[in-house]
Structure 1
Amino acid sequence: MRQVYVHQAILDSSSQTAPGAAITTALCGHWEHEPPCPLAPHHTAARTEDGRLHLRVLFATEPDRVDLVRSRIDEALAGGDWEMISSGCARVNAGERDHARRLLRANRVKSE
């Protein structure tokens, strides 16, 4: 049964869109694709604070695929024109719960 997880990262980057596109490409094959997401329905939120880009990626997947999704996110963030300051797990916060429920209901196809 799918659950929602959060992966967060801090980057030294001037772009708010390129890291999100890199994540979507890593999870879906291309940053622009038709639904459903083949590996994990996801959403990337970005905000700039103190000159650094803070990312939160909500994603829905089965517990046995969490490590795969997280590794693809980290690989995408390690390969861009930015420096990854930190990356790791986080909890869904109260303001993300509605979005998390939508991700759980999202259709998806089997992959790998």
Structure 2
Amino acid sequence: MKNLKALRLSKKLSQQQLALRLDLSQQTIYKYENGITEPDIATLIKLANYFNTSVDYLIGNTNNPQRPGSYSETELTESELQHLRIYRNMPNTVQELLDSFLSEVFKGTI
């Protein structure tokens, strides 16, 4: 749970406040933040939903706190915006080929 503490602090919550909001104990939050115990999958999902992030971000598998598919153009880098502009200007047939290619290359990772 590499990012739980940072997420909690970003919302200016104490361990007790977060525990109350998620129907957990303060000790449980402490143990998660300090790597003493790991949450079950249902609790991981509950935490990710509460912080509007991904489970991957919570456990440190990615540095991107945004939930996949929840991006808005105002949160994208200039490079990402440029890729999006290029994609949107492609003919539909080329977009479909690119979509198919990316789906195959990144199967099961996104």
Same fold, judged at TM 0.5 (above): no
RCO higher in 1 or 2 (8 Å CA, sep ≥ 6)? 1
Higher helix share: 2
Give the TM-score, by structure 1 length: 0.30
Give the TM-score, by structure 2 length: 0.30
Greater Cα radius of gyration, structure 1 or 2: 2
